[in-house]
Amino acid sequence: MHRLIAVASSTLFTCARRVRSCSCSCYPRLSQCIHASTAFILIMATGLPSLSQTPRPCDIYGNAGTPCVAAHSTTRALFAAYNGPLYQVRRSSDGSTQDIGVLTTGDFANAAEQDSFCANTSCIITRIYDQSPRRNDLTIECAGHFKGPGQNGEDVGAPADALPVTAGGRQVYGVSISAGMGYRNDATSGVAVNGQPEGMYMVTSGTHVKISAVSTTAMPR
């Protein structure tokens, strides 16, 4: 069911599988099914024509006729032309929020923005932006059948600095999910329904078991 491919180091792997889209009743926690898929699958670029910019994962999928309908990453852009926010953090000191973007168009995350905003306090990730035109953003899981530790049984957000990783020679932050943490979108656009085919890829840390530490995901269809 799963095909594991080592990428970059022994702590990263790519998990690929065919899936069906799921509703709230299907998965009680999005932390168990972060619906989107991956980046760092640049090995798939072999043989593609050169572009004015190095193609990112969702550029590769689009060129193959399977455009991304969801593309989530706190570490990097998944489109060469993407220049928007990657994720949002909220600090505990005053409850204010800050979007964290890329260094330049198509680049890695500007983690220094988070470090500055969260200095001398703590932050959680409150939103992971969908970089695809579908805008299937992920927000903190609402209360469901299984009650989370948050207000009224909601989940809580992942600590923003819990998974520092190095990508492209720069420090960025992944998403480290533990029990009671999760993200969801119940009003998605463009994802497969009723058993339609859909690809799912994910880059995750092999040092945090239960498949719950995610740095980059992207979903082609």
Q: CATH: 3.40.470.10, 2.60.120.200, 3.40.50.2000, 3.50.50.60. Which one for 3-220?
A: 2.60.120.200
What integer is the mean pLDDT of 166-191? Answer: 91
3-state secondary structure of 142: coil
Kindly indicate the confidence band of residue 63, based on its pLDDT and cuts at 50, 70 and 90: very high
Angstrom distance (rounded) from CA 138 to CA 127: 6
Judge residue 57's burial from the number of C-beta atoms within 10 Å of its C-beta, 0-12 exposed, 13-18 middle, 19 or more buried: buried
Angstrom distance (rounded) from CA 10 to CA 5: 10
What integer is the mean pLDDT of 90-106? Answer: 97
Angle, alpha carbons 32-8-108 (nearest 5°): 75
How many residues comprise the chain? 221
Name the residue with higher pLDDT: 170 or 217. Answer: 170
Would you state the pLDDT for residue 124? 97
Query: Which positions ≥6 away from 211 have C-beta within 8 Å?
Result: 15, 32, 204
Of 24-28, 82-86, 167-171, which range is least confident? 24-28
